[in-house]
Amino acid sequence: MTESYFETVEIGEQRETQARTITEADVMNFAGVSGDFNHLHTDAETMAESSFGERIAHGMLVFSVATGLLWQSRSETERDAVVAFYGIDEVRFVGPTFIGDTIHVEIEVLDKEERDHPVATGVVRYDIEVVTQNGDTVLSCEMLSLVT
C-alpha cells in the first residue's frame, strides 16, 4: 500500500517559492475584481503625500499571489493530495508591499492532524511568510490544507 502525502510530510519541513513582481496592472486589476478602490491602492497623487510615499498593494492581493506561488511550488504529489484549502489563522499584514516589489513565500510545516473525513487523511498546518526582495516580511499567517 502506498503512503499518503499526509503520512510522508514532516513537521519542520521548509521550502521557499519562486518570486513574482507586483505590477501596477496587478493592483488595478485586483481593485476591479474586488471592488476595493481605496486610495491607498489607486490614487498615486494622494499617496505621494502619505507616510508610505506611494501606492501600496492590497493585502489580499499579496495573499492571493502568495497562494499562487505556493501552488506553483508544490510537487505533483502534493498537488494531487490537496483536497481543499482549509483555512488561515493568525493573518497579519506586517508591512507594505509596493508596486514593483518582488515577493516570495517561505513555508514551514508546523503541524499535522489526522481527520475522520470521507476523502482526506488530515490537515497540514503551514507557517507562511511573504518576503520582499529586501528581506522584509510583509505578510505572515498559518495556512491549513486538507490533504489525502
Going from N- to C-terminal start, the domains of the chain cover 12-147
Q: Which three cell numbers stand for residue 127?
A: 507557517
CB neighbourhood size of 49 (10 A): 8
Residues 10-20: pLDDT tens digits?
A: 999 999 999 99
Residues 28-84: pLDDT tens digits?
A: 999 999 999 999 999 999 999 999 999 999 999 999 999 999 999 999 999 999 999
**How far apart (Å, rounded) are the C-alpha atoms in residues 39 and 58?**
11
pTM, 2 dp: 0.94
User: What CATH code is assigned to 12-147?
Assistant: 3.10.129.10
Indicate the helix (H) or strand (E) that contains 20: strand 20-21
**How far apart (Å, rounded) are the C-alpha atoms in residues 143 and 119?**
20
